Structure 1
Amino acid sequence: MTTHTRTRRPFYGDLRFLIGIALVIASVAGVWLLVGAARQTTPVLQASRTIVPGEPLGSSDFQVVEVGLGPLTDDYLAPQDLEPGMIAVRTIDDGELVPRSGTADADAGRTTAIVITSTGAIPASVKAGSTVELWQAPPSKDGRSFGDPRILVADAVVASVAEPEGMLSDARTDVEVVVDRADVADVLSAMNGGAAVSVIPAGPGE
């Protein structure tokens, strides 16, 4: 009678099988965690209008939206984070989620708003939130002409543009701009000195 001996599977074969099972389980668990994280949403503030630097922030400026930001949640302002005295420190576009880095306490503000009268027509693309350059042409000694124009402020932000009124409205337009406090003296000096001040869109796409 012939006796058949049973061949035993090598140990490393069982080990590979167990490792394969472990990898499958880890993969499934990872996918489950990602899906679960994607479904978790957090209430954050979304701008309901364009907000320019230096503007005080209030609840009427925002709407609350539920979004899944994952690890980026702390980078954005939640409803409970909005406190009295907060201002924008950069332009926050209409519909943009409000980043914490775009807000600060009023005491930290370095900008102020000032109204200038542009001696030239304002392009239709210039609106609240647009970045513009302010140019000035100083008056001549006899007051009958102007000298060569030169840049006055390189990065002002438009807060508002006055609505046109009358037939001559295209020639001179009042524009409220936000400038660094360090530039205020130069702007006022140009205006009070009778310089011709022009608002020019800054950069491509403006």
Structure 2
Amino acid sequence: MTTTLRPTLEPLPTPVTPRLRRPTWRDPRLLVGCALVAGSVALGATVVSSARDTAPVYVAAHDLVPGDPVEASDLRVVDVNLGGEASRYLAPEGDGLTAGSVATSVVRSGELVPRTALGKESDVTVRAVAVPVSGTLSDRVRTGSTVDVWFVPKAASGTVVAGGADDAGAPRRLTQGAVVAQVDEPGSSLVVGGQTTVQVLVRPGDLPAVLAALAADGTVTVVPGGAK
């Protein structure tokens, strides 16, 4: 009798299911993640705090020109964030607006008021001169704008001479980059007759020529867009 040997089949190994471990405070990945979150929160808080860090400063309630007295009613208070530039502008806190202040330079309506734009009356060197304008005045000539003042002499016959640069009767510029302090239209209580009058701030060195031209036989006119 022959005996048949059958191979013994060994059981297959049971797969081991990996167990998920809870991260601990010692896990470097968790520590890095927490650091990133904390840094983002701190940065966001700094940005928001900086955006809210505003201070009250003065802005002009209307156009200010050299020589204008400046009182609290001529200014408005707004809150702005100027950072390190805040000390350059006039603010209601600290020394603020002093009595007897006048504008020493042009400040447009709604603009921040630089501290250097205010001073005493003795700091203003320009003088206001009334220039009658018989023709049509450009709409660019307004309070706070700059103009050139020209003189056009008349010939003995009463006609305007249009000569060359060396001609004594040629138009000549009297002052350049003068600031317009005020424009008085016909019908204003300050205007006599039907002419528009432009109050021009003239520098002392140009004042004699402008006054002489106003008294001479000819036409004094203003041209917009002059630069100092």
Q: Is 2:146–2:224's contact at 8 Å kept on the other side of the alignment? A: yes
1:104 to 115, 119, 134: 119
* Greater helix fraction, Structure 1 or Structure 2: 1
Residues 130, 157 of structure 1: 8 Å contact kept: yes
Answer yes or no: is the 8 Å Cα contact 1:54–1:178 preserved in 2: no
* Alignment partner of 1:72 is 2:85: yes
| Aligned-partner SS, 2:78 | strand
Q: Structure 2 unaligned segments of length 5 or more: list them.
A: 1-27, 161-168, 188-192
- Counterparts of 1:78-157 in structure 2 under 5 Å? 78-79=91-92, 80-140=95-155, 142=156, 144-146=158-160, 147-157=169-179
Counterpart Cα distance in 1 of 2:116 and 2:85? 13
C-alpha distance in structure 1 between counterparts of 2:134 and 2:82, whole Å: 46
| 4+ aligned runs moved over 3 Å, structure 1 | 17-31
Give TM-score, length-normalised by structure 2. Answer: 0.70
Aligned CA RMSD, in angstroms, stands at 2.8
The offset of 1:26, in angstroms, is 5.7
Identical aligned residues as a percent: 39
Alpha-carbon contact 1:38-1:70 (below 8 Å) kept: no
Residue 73 of structure 2: aligned partner: 60
CA distance in structure 1 between the aligned counterparts of 2:65 and 2:157, rounded to whole angstroms: 36
**Equivalent residue, structure 1, for 2:218:** 195
Q: How many angstroms apart in 1 are the aligned matches of 2:43 and 2:206?
A: 54
TM-score by length of 1: 0.77
Extract unaligned runs of 5+ from structure 1.
Answer: 1-13
Deviation at 1:22, TM superposition (A): 6.8
- Please state whether the residue corresponding to 1:196 is helix, strand or coil: strand
Per-residue CA deviation, residues 36-92 of structure 1 (Å, 9 max, x unaligned), is: 122122111111111112222111111111222222211110124211232222211
CA distance in 2 between counterparts of 1:176 and 1:94 reads 19
